[in-house]
Amino acid sequence: MRTTKSFAPTTLPSWRQPGWRRYLLTVGIAAVILLLVWFGLRHDAGLYSRQVAQVESVRTTAVSKLVDDHDNKDAQVRQQVRARLLNGKHKGQVVHFTNSYTRSQAIDFPLRTHQQVFLSKSQGSYQLSDAKRDSVSGVLLALVLILLFTFTGLHAFQTLAAIALNTGIFMLGINGLLKSHGNWPWYIMGILAVVFTIATALLIIGPRRVGFSIGLATLLSTLLAVGLGYGIMTAFNYRGIHIEEVRYVTQNPRLIFFAQIVIGALGAVLDETSDISVAVFQLPADAKVRFQAGMAIGRKIMGPLIAVLFMIFMADTFAESILWLRNGNTIAYTVSWVMGLGFAQSLISAFGIVLAVPITSGLAALLAGKKVAA
What per-residue confidence (pLDDT) applies to 9? 55
Task: Tally Cβ neighbours within 10 Å of residue 263.
Answer: 15
In 3D, which of 277, 271, 273, 275 has the Cα closest to residue 290?
A: 277
Look at residues 244, 245, 356 and name the one whose alpha carbon lies nearest to residue 301. 356
207 in the Ramachandran plot: left (φ > 0), alpha (ψ -120 to 50) or beta? beta
* Contact in structure between 120 and 129 (CB atoms under 8 Å): yes
CA distance 340 to 346: 10
Q: What is the pLDDT of residue 34?
A: 93
Residue 42: predicted pLDDT: 92
For the entire predicted model, the pTM comes to: 0.69
pLDDT in tens, 303-320: 888 888 888 877 777 877
Per the CB < 8 A criterion, the answer to whether 118 and 129 are in contact is yes
Give yes or no for a contact between 350 and 221, defined as CB atoms under 8 angstroms apart: no
Q: Which residues of the chain have pLDDT under 50?
A: 246, 372-374
HSE-CB at 363 with a 13 A cutoff on CA atoms is 24
Cα-trace Rg, the chain: 28
* Helix, strand, coil share (%) of the chain residues, nearest 5: 60, 15, 25
Q: Which pLDDT does position 136 carry in this prediction?
A: 92
Model pLDDT, residue 372: 43
Nearest to 115 by CA among 24, 54, 196, 40: 54
Residue 252: its pLDDT value, please? Answer: 66
Q: How far lies 299's CA from each of 169, 275, 337, 348, 357, in Å?
A: 32, 12, 33, 18, 7
Give the chain's largest Cα–Cα span: 104
Summarised one tens digit per residue, pLDDT across range 88-123 is 888 889 999 999 988 878 788 899 999 999 999 888
Q: Which of 263, 246, 289 is nearest to 348 (CA)?
A: 263
